[in-house]
Amino acid sequence: MKTTSVLELLKGEKLLQEVTIKGWVRTFRANRFIALNDGSTINNIQCVVDFENTDETTLKRITTGAAICLKGVLAESQGKGQKVEVQVSSIEILGDSDPETYPIQPKKHSFEFLRDNAHLRTRTNTFSAVMRLRSSLSFAIHQYFNQNGFYYMHTPIITGSDAEGAGEMFQVTGLDVKNPPLTEDGNVDYSQDFFGKETNLTVSGQLEAETFAMSLGKVYTFGPTFRAENSNTSRHLSEFWMIEPEVAFMDLDGNMDLAEDFLKSVLGYVLENNADDLAFLEQRLIQEDKSKPQNERNEMTLTEKLRFVVDNNFKRVSYTEAIDILKNCKPNKKKKFNYLIEEWGADLQSEHERFLVEKHFKCPVILFDYPANIKAFYMRLNEDGKTVRAMDILFPGIGEMVGGSQREERLDILKQKMAALDIDEKELWWYTDLRKYGTAVHSGFGLGFERLVMFATGMSNIRDVIPYPRTPQNASF
Ligand code: 4AD
Ligand code: MG
């Protein structure tokens, strides 16, 4: 018989029918009630075992974590907490789980402990909900671009260029592990490059995306990117996924409109399609809040927060205006606000961003027109000669969610900028070519996917929204 998913069974449409289900035991109570989960939903199905007619050995093997196959009839449940249950007629143990050693017990585990058991943490409610939401958001992202006339392009992972010009790259060597190149004295020659060329793992697919935008019009990438910055924060990973749309004939205003519409659309998608997982994560946060002092609790529930972003306009503020606001705000050391910024030209620290978003505007903020010298080489210089057409989107609880810009499309100015920053023109000959042949206004942005997943799930550490986090301390699994 075909198996039915738990999600399908809980709809109750198969009432009184014979069903077959496969899944993992979450709990087994009183030798009678199995809570079974198969990943299709946050909810378990209750399966009632006829223990008098089941042999002892089988009953003993129904342990937390075991994989089992059940046959039975879907019936209305007499008990509280569920509408339907399966009256089990046969049990097959597919894979045992030793209760003495299985790490995921039916109790609350710390996130640190679960990070050390990342291969099993999606057997918990929290992590299965987070990963289903992550999958749903990926789908919503592809759907958004597909419906809006964008082509999906794959940018290289191994590349010779430093797209951000910030030198935060992991080098790729051409080492053949089995047969490594050796130095004259017989040691492995680690200085060897990728088949004779210096390469690194990509920090961003933007520059290649620009080449496609200048021929296909509207494109986006969605792939892994790598940063060798040694940041041990709850918002940085060494390997993260980035979504980067790039559009020809679009200026910075169009870029801001696109980013705002895009974010509202994908968050709206999960509100519509992931209600059960969101409700579970929302309850988790409400419980967590209870152990916090009043002033540290969330003002809105998770779904209220998402709904707020979807329904309200983002605030658009120039960097210069933001600096004025920060200069005029009263620092309050007691409440740990010390936001004062010294002068125009300084880069904003995360405490400044948090003040603007969480205390001052209380909504997502798009900051634009940053000083040229704190931003990347490819951003379009404004008429004032000192600011560039950059934008960052800041979100409450997250900080920088998006970084983007209108690109410098004028060859002479781009060349001056590259020279000033010591960027070798020869290395980026193909990039400058775009400005020689049919150059045009164009813009794009990068969204850190894990930061979006953090916002959508309410998780506070970026390591808990990616299957296997790569950070300066952790690259196992
Ligand atoms: O601001 P960034 O560095 O911008 C770029 O890479 C541009 N090339 C994007 C573009 O215009 N096409 O990175 C973009 C976003 C950030 O806003 C942040 O959300 C995320 O990527 N990000 C990280 N996420 C996790 N860990 C890190 N180490 C991150 N660095 C950036
Ligand atoms: Mg940035």
DSSP assignment of 354-384: HIIIIIII-S-EEEEEEEGGGS-TTBPBPTT
Q: Which residue has the higher pLDDT, 404 or 332?
A: 404
* CB-based contact 404:263 (threshold 8 Å): no
What is the rounded average pLDDT for all residues in the chain?
93
Domain ranges of the chain: 6-102, 125-168+203-464
Q: What is the pLDDT of residues 103-129, one digit of tens each?
A: 999 889 999 999 999 999 999 999 999
60, pLDDT greater than 90? yes
Ligand nearest to the CA of 454: 1
Q: What is the pLDDT of residues 142-197, one digit of tens each?
A: 999 999 999 999 999 999 888 888 888 998 877 777 888 888 998 888 777 777 77
Ligand nearest to the CA of 447: 1
* CB-based contact 353:394 (threshold 8 Å): yes
342, pLDDT greater than 70? no
CA distance 267 to 133: 10
169 CB contacts (<8 Å, ≥6 apart)? 162, 200, 201, 203, 226, 228
Closest CA to ligand 1's atom 21: 448
Q: Which residue has the higher pLDDT, 9 or 196?
A: 9
Ligand 1 centroid to residue 252 C-alpha, Å:
17
Q: Which atom of ligand 1 is nearest to the CA of 227?
A: 28
* Residue 232 confidence (pLDDT): 85
Ligand 1 probe mutation, 226, 240, 379, most atoms within 8 A of CB: 240
| Range with the poorest average pLDDT among 150-164, 186-200, 210-224, 347-361 | 186-200
456, pLDDT greater than 60? yes
333, pLDDT greater than 80? no
336, pLDDT greater than 60? no
- 352-382 core/surface letters (b: 16 or more CB in 10 A; e: else): bbbbbbbebbebbbbbbbbbbeebbbbbbbb
| pLDDT (average), residues 255-278 | 98
Ligand 1 probe mutation, 134, 161, 242, 464, most atoms within 8 A of CB: 242
Helix (H) or strand (E) holding 226: strand 218-226
Strand partners, 83: none
| pLDDT (average), residues 212-220 | 98
* Residue 327 confidence (pLDDT): 85
* Residue 194 confidence (pLDDT): 74
Q: Say whether 125-168+203-464 and 6-102 share the same fold.
A: no
Ligand 2 centroid to residue 400 C-alpha, Å:
7
- Tally the C-alpha atoms within 13 A of residue 453's C-alpha that lie toward its C-beta: 27
Helix %, strand %, coil % of the chain (to 5)? 35, 25, 40
* Residue 130 confidence (pLDDT): 98
Closest CA to ligand 1's atom 27: 236
31, pLDDT greater than 80? yes
User: Strand pairing of 199-201 and 171-172?
Assistant: antiparallel
* Residue 367 confidence (pLDDT): 98
User: Strand pairing of 151-152 and 218-226?
Assistant: parallel
CATH for 125-168+203-464 is 3.30.930.10
Ligand nearest to the CA of 229: 1
236, pLDDT greater than 90? yes
Q: Which atom of ligand 1 is nearest to the CA of 209?
A: 12
Ligand 1 centroid to residue 115 C-alpha, Å:
24
Of the candidates 294, 251, 279, 266, the residue with the CA atom closest to the CA atom of residue 441: 251
Question: Within a 10 A sphere around the Cβ of 198, how many other Cβ atoms?
Answer: 12
Closest CA to ligand 1's atom 25: 236
Ligand 1 centroid to residue 448 C-alpha, Å:
5
| pLDDT (average), residues 446-457 | 98
CA distance 376 to 88: 63
CA distance 21 to 336: 53
CATH for 6-102 is 2.40.50.140
Closest CA to ligand 1's atom 9: 446
Strand partners, 37: 24
The first and second tokens of residue 163, run together, are 């797209």
Distance of CA 443 to the CA centre of its chain: 23
| Range with the poorest average pLDDT among 212-216, 284-288, 352-356 | 352-356
CA distance 451 to 137: 12
CA distance 128 to 7: 14
337, pLDDT greater than 60? no
305, pLDDT greater than 60? yes
**Percent of the chain predicted with pLDDT > 90:** 82
Ligand 2 centroid to residue 402 C-alpha, Å:
7
255, pLDDT greater than 90? yes
28, pLDDT greater than 60? yes
Ligand 2 centroid to residue 391 C-alpha, Å:
9
Q: Which atom of ligand 1 is nearest to the CA of 452?
A: 19
Ligand 1 centroid to residue 227 C-alpha, Å:
9
Ligand nearest to the CA of 244: 1
CA distance 136 to 141: 9
373, pLDDT greater than 80? yes
335, pLDDT greater than 60? no
Strand partners, 34: 28, 47
Ligand nearest to the CA of 236: 1
* Residue 338 confidence (pLDDT): 59
| pLDDT (average), residues 71-96 | 95
CA distance 445 to 451: 14
Closest CA to ligand 1's atom 5: 446
What order of strands is seen across the sheet that includes strand 239-248?
A: 151-152, 218-226, 239-248, 442-448, 399-406, 387-395, 365-371, 315-318
Only one residue has tokens 């936001």, namely 339
First to last CA, the chain: 36
Tell me the whole-structure pTM to 2 decimals: 0.95
332, pLDDT greater than 70? no
